[in-house]
Amino acid sequence: MTLFHLTAVELAALKLSLWVSGWAVAASLPAGILAAWVLARLRFPGKNLLDGMLHLPLVLPPVVIGYLLLVMLGRNGIIGGALDRYLGVVLAFNWKGAALAAAVMAFPLLVRAVRLSLEGVDQGLEDAARTLGAGPLRVFFTVTLPLMVPGIITGVILAFARSLGEFGATITFVSNIRGQTQTLPLALYTLTQVPDGEAGAMRLCILSVLIAMAALVCSEILARRFAARMEG
Amino acid sequence: MLEIRLDHTQGNFRLNVAFQGAASGVTALFGPSGAGKTSIVNMVAGLQKPDAGRIAVNGLRLFDSARKIHLPPEKRRIGYVFQEGRLLPHLSVRANLTYGMRLTPKDRRFVEFDPVVDLLGIGHLLHRRPSRLSGGEKQRVAIGRALLTSPAMLLMDEPLASLDPARKAEVLPFIVRLAREFAIPVLYVSHALDEILNLAARMVMIREGRVLADGDLEALLSRSDLQPHLGRAESESVISTVVKEPEDAFGLTHLRFGDRILKVLSIDAEKGEPVRVRISSRHVAIALEPPSRTSFLNIFPGEIREMVDLGGPVLDVRVEIGCSLWARITRKSLLELNLKTGQPVFALIKSVAVSSGPSDACR
């Protein structure tokens, strides 16, 4: 047993974690950008309520979120039952559910970062693009979105890191099934519960640190590239 | 042809204006800051919606509250040059220039890329990002970008306001040439008279949300009742001339107005080019007989048409010399010469006191 050799279980947990987090971020990014846009640009009654709801996962215990997801999206849940019956989509106790739990928990962080960058975009530039003949949708994709890139990078990295670390909501919603829903933190927790698990736990711990650092380095490189492009 | 009738209330400020812009050439929208000039151009561009009114360009209705017409900005075909340029920072200069051009259907384009780049002298900047441009370069690119959409009209909202005098002098000639070479009417917002002097044919004076006066630029500038609103410390005359001789043996430029010749210090202009010059009333003297042996190079016979008492020891006298010329004289001179309205006199102008265009007018 060495510190540098992963067992099959640990390798499966690592792959699953990257897969689940990747999907969680990819699937929630468009919704996150939309939510950020709605909160930053529109004025409507109930906006504060929506803002609060989006921030709930940040303040509620993750277990509560997991339980709510289970109640609503489980096979017998209101939404989960319908999904199963009409679309044949089952979220409970598989990787899709894990990705959803991670996405929900990471969503506020994503929206906050994206919204901040959107609020920094000079609306005068959008007006200028309109006078040049671009409709609102084109302005969004050719002016607003490109200028939001730094915030989107930050949001994606934050959300990815949060997803990788997701524990409470995941274990409550989709349980801890090896190869199905046992992500890195869950595997680590499991290893700490069994005799002779310390080495494995340590390996997963180091792995988590490495992934987190790699993500940070990636975001830094991307942000620098963007800044260089704007300077060029 | 631009037709504007607007009524808009924002907070305590009411904008209520109606005027027409020229079908070609430059119409200046002139007035102090806060008069509502920018609101007007924003409404023409469609970036701001007036409470009521009508905006039409070349017969095309852009806004009509009675008929519930409010075209979005992208459908108006109006080029807008903003005070701060507003170039898209993530795009190269070339991509900025072609952004609007590519959205203009080919059969509607009448402004081509190469001539505009040549005219504005921005060929060497095409691969740069806006952040690497000087203020003057940015404004030239912004002008080119608006021009390349082949617009039905151009709006310019103080495009020189953020530039220092040297950069102003760099950009202004391009606007003059643009107005002459492309047959696009321009609505040019400014609070600086010297900017529009050699640019605009018509002027609409805006003050506190209303049209104060509207018409031929020169005619407005010579009206005594408007002098306090022209934003200058002393009354000035503006004379439209044509360059007859760019530089004589003494380094003077000869400018023709009517059948008279005005000799001034050398102006950078070509023969036949129209030039408007400003003459401060303080630099004009009046004599009852043509003086001999004098340093005044410009002596014009004329007739006193109007006297404006400024209170105190001085007053302004308007002398008709084929155009209006203001002279500031002392009350002592008035009494000693016994000047009256309708009296024939000679107006004397020092050559060194005549200036053209911007730069030194801001003193």
Ordered per-residue pLDDT tens for chain B, 363 residues: 889 999 999 989 999 999 988 888 889 999 988 889 999 999 999 999 999 999 998 888 999 999 999 999 999 999 999 998 899 999 999 999 999 999 999 998 888 899 899 888 899 999 999 999 988 899 999 999 999 999 999 999 999 888 888 778 778 888 878 877 888 889 999 988 888 887 888 999 999 999 999 998 888 887 878 877 876 667 788 888 889 988 888 888 999 998 899 998 888 788 888 888 888 888 899 999 888 888 888 999 999 998 888 778 888 899 999 888 989 999 999 889 999 899 999 999 988 877 775 433 332
Answer yes or no: do B193 and B256 share one domain.
no
Q: Are residues B185 and B297 in the same domain?
A: no
Decide: B242 and B275 in contact? Cβ < 8 Å: yes
Same domain, B140 and B276: no
Q: Is the Cβ of A128 closer than 8 Å to some Cβ of chain B?
A: yes
Give the mean pLDDT of A7-21.
91
Q: How many CB atoms lie within 10 A of CB B242?
A: 14
β-bridge mates for residue B28, sequence order: B188, B203
Phi, psi of B18, deg, nearest 5: -145, 125
Query: Which residues in B lie closer than 8 A to residue A230 (C-beta atoms)?
Result: 89-90, 129, 131
Contact yes or no for B72 and A135 at CB 8 A: yes
Q: What count of other Cβ atoms lies within 10 Å of the Cβ of residue B142?
A: 28
A125 touches B at CB < 8 Å: yes
Q: Are residues B110 and B184 in the same domain?
A: yes
The whole-number pLDDT of residue B357 equals 56
DSSP B165-219: HHHHHHHHHHHHHHHHHS---EEEEES-HHHHHTT-SEEEEEETTEEEEEEEHHH
pLDDT score recorded for residue B256: 92
Q: Identify the pLDDT of residue A2.
A: 64
Q: What pLDDT shows up at residue B239?
A: 86
Same structural domain for residues B337 and B274?
Answer: yes
A130 to chain B: nearest residue by CA?
Answer: B74
Tokens representing residue B139 in the block: 């404004």
pLDDT, tens digit, for every residue of A72-116? 998 888 888 888 888 888 888 899 999 999 999 999 999 999 999
- Nearest by CB to residue A230, choosing from B99, B104, B129, is B129
Contact B132 A231 (CB under 8 A): yes
Residue B267's pLDDT is 81
Q: Are B253 and B246 in contact (CB under 8 A)?
A: yes
For chain B, the domain total comes to 2
Q: Do B88 and A128 touch (CB under 8 A)?
A: yes
Instruction: Check if the beta carbon of residue B343 is closer than 8 Å to that of residue B362.
Output: no
The highest-level CATH class for domain A8-231 is mainly alpha
Residue A122 has pLDDT above 90, yes or no: yes
Q: How far is CA A180 from the centre of its chain?
A: 19
**A129 and B99 in contact by Cβ < 8 A?**
yes
How are beta strands B153-157 and B69-70 bridged, if at all? Answer: unpaired
Q: Residues B223, B240: one domain?
A: no
Contact B86 A133 (CB under 8 A): no
- The CATH number of the domain where B251 resides is what? 2.40.50.100
Domain boundaries, chain A: 8-231
User: Is A124 an 8 Å CB contact of chain B?
Assistant: yes
Same domain, yes or no, for B335 and B248?
A: yes
pLDDT digits (tens, 9 = 90+) for A40-69: 999 999 999 999 999 999 999 999 999 999
Q: Taking chain B, what is the end-to-end CA distance rounded to the nearest angstrom? A: 36
Pairwise CA distance, residues A36 & A212, whole Å: 25
Phi, psi dihedral angles at B33 (to 5 degrees):
-60, 140
Distances (CA, A) of A71 to A64, A87, A180: 10, 19, 20
Are residues B114 and B220 located together in one domain of the fold?
yes
CA A89 – CA A160 distance, rounded (Å)? 24
Residue B360's pLDDT is what? Answer: 36
My answer on whether B97 and B61 are in the same domain is yes
Contact A146 B45 (CB under 8 A): no
Same domain, B53 and B156: yes
Statement: residue A33 has pLDDT above 90: yes
A231 part of contact set with chain B, CB < 8 Å? yes
Domain residues for the domain of B266 are 236-362
Per DSSP, A84 falls in state: I
Domain boundary among the residues B183, B198, B229 is at B229
Query: In this predicted structure, what is the pLDDT of residue B362?
Result: 30
Chain B positions in Cβ-Cβ contact with residue A232 (cut-off 8 Å): 92, 128-129, 132
For residue B84, list chain A residues with Cβ-Cβ distance below 8 A: 124
Quick one: closest CA in A to B125, which residue? A232
Cβ separation A231–B80 shorter than 8 A: no
CB B25 within 8 A of CB B203: no
Both tokens assigned to A77: 């849940």
What residues does B202 pair with on adjacent strands?
B27, B216
Q: Which residues of A touch B131 (CB under 8 A)?
A: 230-231
Q: Which residues of A touch B146 (CB under 8 A)?
A: 131-132
Final residue of a domain: which of B211, B229, B247? B229
Going by pLDDT thresholds of 50, 70 and 90, the confidence category of residue A3 is low
Give the torsion through C-alpha atoms of B347, B353, B359, B363, to 10 deg. -100
Question: What does DSSP assign to residue B227?
Answer: G
Same domain, B65 and B95: yes
Looking at beta carbons, which residues of chain B come within 8 Å of A225?
none
Neighbours of B24 (CB within 10 A): 16
Element (H, E) at A219: helix A198-231
ipTM of model: 0.83
Comparing alpha-carbon positions, the chain B residue that sits nearest to A143 is: B88
Same domain, B221 and B241: no
A residues 31-90 lying closer than 8 A (beta carbon) to B: none
Mean local confidence (pLDDT), A22-30: 95
DSSP 8-state code for residue B23: S
